[in-house]
A and B are shown apart, each in its own frame.
Chain A
């Protein structure tokens, strides 16, 4: 719940926030000015307003994160589920592809790719789409295989339904919760990676994003000059957004995994009766007399 509200706040900030702050690149005050009434978050080493940069940066970073998230999960689902339904030979080829992309370290590849390509946030997005899908494909392949082997899907295949039909009607609905969780995870990955790539300097440093904010903070010797306000707000925003998404994911996990809820209900029920499961995990004993009449009315 907290996660959903917080994420909603970020979306609103990304859409409307830039209307309320000034030009993030304008020279508005003395460089490295600490937070004040005029500049709540202080000014950068270039004399720009940090608050404006953080707010404007939200727009590009969030948009890019969501975009990369959608593509990465879609590609992952396409490759992973195809592998699961493709038959042994196709599966072997696709699985090899997935594993190769998994084992080649993504960030160094992304850095080199981005360095060669024209500098822009869209380059970063494209590069992250290319390097980021394999993990999703791996997880979705495993899950789709488990579903494929269940009786009702096997029955649908035997009944002569086409592969596409099976995929659409039987497999995808089962994957919905997992896809949602993966999407959320992919946004976190995309934002973190984007910020990292821009920080190391392969992004377009004239565009205001969270990543370029941190690039400039480092470039203007934020640490040496002690101007912590140039990098702390952006970092906190990234962390808050990621945290909101992580919390959202915990919620999705609970929906997808009823066992988690069952365990929680069981523990709470035992606690109200002063019982618990001991370290030997022996079945707890709660004599009937402890309960009120409404509970035992059931025969």
Chain B
């Protein structure tokens, strides 16, 4: 019963967050100072088909209907998945352009973030357990140094060294041009080869954050009486470490995993740009270069919804990890 209540309250929260994102998205072009919307609009006039211009007009709030009516029309459109036509890919609708990009982003970033979280968390457990040990003394500063580089810059460097100079990895796109997408081993292998380097760059940069936060929460838990008691009970150090310490220390980390997801995702978008990886980040670059505002806004919404969905998955994971979300008193 209270599992459902927990999930319902989380869903309610995501609905509010989604609503806020939608509203920001709607008002963005309408609140601009000095009416640059008209200026931008003017630039496109004569270069685009009339339908595309109409879409832009709607996106910029230059339509004639009163504001609140525009707002409800907009909400109705978004709820049916209609983000209008893309300017740069006209007449393709924004939703179609985004669809495939989102898939690639989820693949790349999902893979990288999950691997990074697992490795970083495990390293954090060991570092805290052997506090002041070799791992604990060397790894955090090294990873702090690596994590100090911007995501995309490290991606550039890795692409330059391993892609261009050494030629170990493919340098662009999500798969080789000559392969048709299919569930074959060749294609999957090809996709993984293309994802490896960008994923690796994201993993390396984000590892330190997970390690440090797990280390700190583990150290806090290790100071608890429950750990002293578990030791006195005669449990083996390994059991104390995993079943009593790590099992509890991971709970706040899983919660912040959801929160940090948006941040890591933001960085990964730029990594996509560096690698020409056809995800939402690369689309964002295209949209900026061609001033395709409807596409930009659609991407923002799609990414937001994806992050909200991922957070909901984290909530479900929490139900399994923390009995306090499962059973109230």
In-complex A–B contact (CB below 8 Å) = yes
A102 CA to B145 CA, complexed, in Å = 25
A222 CA to B130 CA, complexed, in Å = 44
Q: Is the CB of A107 within 8 A of B269?
A: yes
A234 CA to B154 CA, complexed, in Å = 12
Cβ of A196 within 8 Å of any chain B Cβ, yes or no, is yes
Q: Is the CB of B157 within 8 A of A201?
A: no
Smallest Cβ distance from A193 to chain B, in angstroms? 8
Cβ of A26 within 8 Å of any chain B Cβ, yes or no, is no
A109 CA to B24 CA, complexed, in Å = 9
A226 CA to B20 CA, complexed, in Å = 45
Q: Is the CB of B164 within 8 A of A223?
A: yes
For B307, what are the chain A residues with a Cβ–Cβ distance below 8 Å?
103-105
Contact among A108, A199, A228, A231 with B300 in the assembled complex (CB-CB below 8 Å) = A108
Contact among B16, B156, B231, B263 with A280 in the assembled complex (CB-CB below 8 Å) = B231
For B145, what are the chain A residues with a Cβ–Cβ distance below 8 Å?
239, 243, 246
Q: How large is the interface on B (under 10, 10 to 19, 20 to 34, 35 or more residues)?
A: 35 or more
Given contacts A214-B153, A246-B144, contact A200 B304 (CB under 8 A): no
Residue of B25, B300, B307 with most chain A CB atoms under a 10 A cut-off: B300
Q: Is the CB of A223 within 8 A of B160?
A: yes
A232 CA to B156 CA, complexed, in Å = 9
Stretch touching chain A among B73-81, B89-97, B180-188, B288-296: B288-296
Smallest Cβ distance from B295 to chain A, in angstroms? 10
Smallest Cβ distance from A62 to chain B, in angstroms? 15
Q: Is the CB of A118 within 8 A of B36?
A: yes
Q: Is the CB of A104 within 8 A of B262?
A: yes
Given contacts A116-B293, A243-B148, A279-B237, contact A103 B284 (CB under 8 A): no
Contact among A200, A235, A263 with B131 in the assembled complex (CB-CB below 8 Å) = A263
Residue of A nearest to B13 (CB): A99
Interface residues of A in 134-162 (CB under 8 A from B): 135, 138
Task: For the complex of A and B, list the 7 residue pairs with the smallest distance between their C-beta atoms, beginning with the closest.
Answer: A107-B266, A105-B262, A242-B148, A235-B153, A243-B148, A239-B148, A239-B149
A243 CA to B147 CA, complexed, in Å = 8
Q: Mark A183-217, 1 if CB is under 8 A from B, else 0.
A: 00000100011011001111000000000001001
Residue of B14, B21, B144, B150 with most chain A CB atoms under a 10 A cut-off: B150
A56 CA to B46 CA, complexed, in Å = 41
Interface residues of A in 49-106 (CB under 8 A from B): 96, 99-100, 102-106
A196 CA to B274 CA, complexed, in Å = 11
A263 CA to B220 CA, complexed, in Å = 13
Cβ of A264 within 8 Å of any chain B Cβ, yes or no, is yes
Q: Is the CB of A231 within 8 A of B156?
A: yes
Q: Is the CB of A103 within 8 A of B156?
A: no
Given contacts A102-B259, A116-B28, contact A108 B266 (CB under 8 A): yes
For B62, what are the chain A residues with a Cβ–Cβ distance below 8 Å?
none
Interface residues of A in 250-274 (CB under 8 A from B): 263-264, 267
Smallest Cβ distance from B14 to chain A, in angstroms? 8
Cβ of A19 within 8 Å of any chain B Cβ, yes or no, is no
* Dominant SS among interface residues on chain B: helix
Q: Is the CB of B156 within 8 A of A224?
A: no
Q: Is the CB of B263 within 8 A of A106?
A: yes
Given contacts A106-B266, A109-B24, contact A201 B16 (CB under 8 A): no
Smallest Cβ distance from B304 to chain A, in angstroms? 6
Cβ of A164 within 8 Å of any chain B Cβ, yes or no, is no
Cβ of B56 within 8 Å of any chain A Cβ, yes or no, is no
For A282, what are the chain B residues with a Cβ–Cβ distance below 8 Å?
231
Contact among A115, A116, A196, A218 with B266 in the assembled complex (CB-CB below 8 Å) = A196
Contact among B14, B17, B151, B296 with A111 in the assembled complex (CB-CB below 8 Å) = B296
Q: Is the CB of A243 within 8 A of B296?
A: no
Cβ of B211 within 8 Å of any chain A Cβ, yes or no, is no
Smallest Cβ distance from B130 to chain A, in angstroms? 9
A241 CA to B144 CA, complexed, in Å = 12
Q: Is the CB of B269 within 8 A of A108?
A: yes
Residue of A112, A113, A138, A202 with most chain B CB atoms under a 10 A cut-off: A112
Q: Is the CB of A105 within 8 A of B263?
A: yes
Q: Is the CB of B157 within 8 A of A235?
A: yes
A279 CA to B237 CA, complexed, in Å = 6
Cβ of B299 within 8 Å of any chain A Cβ, yes or no, is yes
For A179, what are the chain B residues with a Cβ–Cβ distance below 8 Å?
none
Residue of A nearest to B220 (CB): A259
Given contacts A105-B304, A111-B288, A223-B160, contact A218 B270 (CB under 8 A): no
